[in-house]
A and B are shown apart, each in its own frame.
Chain A
C-alpha cells in the first residue's frame, strides 16, 4: 500500500484530466445526490459519496449505445461502431466493483460480447473505499463492502492523505506516469484503512435474515408464497429497480433510420423485466403479463437463476433499488425477510466463486456478437395470406451449418431483427425460412424479392438431437406454424429414412387455407413408408378439406404407434402443448420420450438480453428444443 498527500493526489487527478487521450470520469455531486460523470477539475471529485444514482454499469453497457450504422443506398452496408478511447473511472465503491466482475462473467461467458469487451478493456477502474454509508445500503449483510481485486487502483481517503492500493500493472503504470512522491504505507496507515473498511461494513447491516448463500433455497421453496402478490400489488411497473441496479443487464435493440431514409443506426438500450412488454413476442403474446410474475422473476433471477447459471447472487447490497422505488417494495432486505419469516429452515447453497479476471484477460472476439452477415434472398414464395417462404444464401458462400430445430436472427436494416426457425434440413449452401407477417421486420420481408439483401446471425440454440433419434420410432405432432421448425427434422428423417424406425406425422391447423407446404404434405400423404394424418379446427364454407376436422389431439387415438418406445416431437402454439402432452402421457408415453420446441422473445439469440428466459433457462441458448422432462417443472414453461 502506498501513501500520497491529498494535494499531490488532486494534482494527479488534474494531470489525468489534462491528458486528452483519456476520458476521466468520477463521482460528482448532483444536487444532494451523486453521479458518475466527466470530471473537469479535481475539485469536482467526491470520495465521500454514499452511493451514486446510477451504477458505473453505464460505462460498459450505456443507456443508449450505437452498435452499428447502416447505409441502405448500398446493397448491404453495416458497420460496427468502435469505442477505442481509453477511460478512467474514479471513485467506484467495492460493491460496484463486485457488480462489474459479475458483468464480466455475464458478458464474457461463452458468447463474448465484443462491444462490452472493448469498453471494459479500455477502462481503468480506480476504486474508493466507502466513507459514508447510504441509508438503504446493506453491503455489510452481503459481504460486498470490501474487495481485494477487480480494480486497477483502490483509494482510501484518510483526510489529509490518500492510501492507494495497487491492483494491476496498468494501474501502477498510470500512477507512476504522473506521481513521483509515493511513500510506503506505515503499519499504522494500513490499520487505519482496515478500520475504515470495517466501519463501513458494520454500518451497512440492516438485519438481513438469510445470507446470500441461502437465497437460492429460500426462493425455490417459496415460489408460490403470498408475499409476491402482496408486494406486486403496490408495484408501479416503472422499471426503476432494474434500471438503477448494477447487476441488471437486460437490454433491447432497435433500428433508427435518419430523415434521409437511407442511413441509420442500430441502438442497444436498457430494458427491464418489470416492464409489461418485456416478454412480448411479434404475434403480440406476453409471457409474463401479471405484475406478480414479473416481480417474482426479478428476485428469482438474482437469487436463484444467475447463481445456478454463472455462480453469483446478482445483488451487491448497494441499496439503489430500495431508495429509488417510490412505493418502497423493491428493497431486497425487506423482501427476503418477509419471505424468511414465513418459511421453514433454509439450506445454504454452494456458490462457485467468480473467476472473472481470467475471463477479462482471456476473452477474445471471433466474431461480433450482434453484427449480421450479409445474405441474399434466392427464392421467395407466398405460402398463405400470412406466411411467405424464403430460400436464403449467405454472401460468403458458406453453408449455414445448422442442425434441425435451430433458428437464425434475420435483419432488415432500418426495420430491425427477428428470430425465425429454420425450416430446411441441413443440405447444400442455402437454407429456408417460413415467415409469418406479424411485425415490422416480417412485414418488410414480405415485400422483398429474390436478389434483395438481408442480414443473418446464427444459427442459434440447441436443435433436435438427431443422433439420439436414430433407430427410434418417431411421432411428429405439429400445430400451425409449429410445422416450420419441425419440417427441418422431418425432411432430414425422410432423406435418411433407413436410419429411423416407424415415422408418423400428425399435422393440424385452424383452417385449410392456413396449411403450409401443400406440395410436400401431398407427397407425405402418398408415401408408403410413413403414416400421415392431418386435421383442421374447422373448414369454413368455400374451402375444401379431405382430412379430419377437430383440434389436433383428435388425431392421436387414430395414429398407430407404440407409446412406450416412440419418441414424440411436439411443436405448436403455447395452448397446444398442454393438451397434446396430457394425451400422450395418458397413453403411457414416458416423459423423457417427449420433445418440444418453445417460443419466446429471442431478441439477442445468445443468452444476454434476458427476454426469452423461462424461469432459470434461456430459450435461445438452452433451447428452443427441450426434452419435456427437463422443462415440465418450470412454472413459466407451459402457461
Chain B
C-alpha cells in the first residue's frame, strides 16, 4: 500500500496491521454510536443534545484516528524523511503550491483564486487554503476523493425544536421568572430569545470534520467548504489547478435552553412561553462544564503541532548525514514540492547510494532554477 510514496511496498506488516486496526476501530465505534442513536430514535428518546454529542464524538474519533494514522506513517514509519506538504483527511498532497492559514478574532473570508468566488462567507474564524496541482491519471482519483471529502463535510441541518418540544430531554428548565436568566447567564454567553416558529432560528448547521496535517501544523475539525478546479491551456490542459478552501467547525456543545413562561393573571389567554438559548458569539463555542471537551480541539491542534515540530528537530539531529547542499536541495524538493519532474515518475530525484549517502539529481536544481 503506497499511500504516501510512489514506491510500492514500503509498508511493513506492522504498519498495515496498525492501519487496519485504526480503520476498524473508527468504523466500529462510529457504527456503534449510530446504532445506539438509532435505537434511541426509534423510541423517540433522541434529543438534539444527544445528536450533537454524537456528532462531536464521531468527529473526535475520526480526527484522532486519522491524525494518529498520518503521524504514525510520516514520522515513525517513514524511511525516506520526505513528507508531503499537507495530508487532507489521510490523503497526501505532495503538489502543494500554497498553504495559507488564517486565524482571526472575526470571521475570515477567502479571496477569489480564479474566476469564481464565494458570495457570502460566514464560516468560522479559522481557515486554511491549499492550492495544489493535479495531473497524470492520479488526478482522476484525486477528484473522486475530493467529491467524497466535500460530501462528507457538507453542511447538514438539525432542527433544534424537533424533539425539544415533544420530548424535552437535554437540560431544559422551565421557569416562571425571567430574572432567572440574569442570575444564571454566563458572561461569555448571554442568553438569546428565539422563536420556535422561525425556521431560520431553529436551524442548526453542522458539519462532519476531518483533520488536515501540514508540515508545520495540525488542524483538526476541518471541513471542505469550497473547491475550485481550473484547466487552463497556459498550464496545459492535463494539469489541474486545485484550490481547496477549508474551515474549522466545532460542534456546538449540548444546548442550554430555558423555557420562561409569562403568567397572564386574570386573563383567559394561555401563558406565553419564551425560549432562550445560550447565545453563540462570533462562532465561539458555548460554555460547557466539561473542560476536557472544551479543550480537545486545542490539544489536538496546538499540542500535536508542537510534537510534530519537536520530532522534526530530533530527526534533523539524528540524521545529520545531510550536507548543507543536500539539505538545501532537499528543502526545495520537500518544501515547495517541486522535485525532479522525471518522465517515468518512479524517481523523486533524491536517492541513497550503496554506502548510504544521500544524492540529489541535478534535475532538481534545474527545475528550481538553481543551476542552469
Bound pair: A and B?
no
Task: Give B residues with C-beta under 8 Å from A.
Answer: none
Task: Give A residues with C-beta under 8 Å from B.
Answer: none
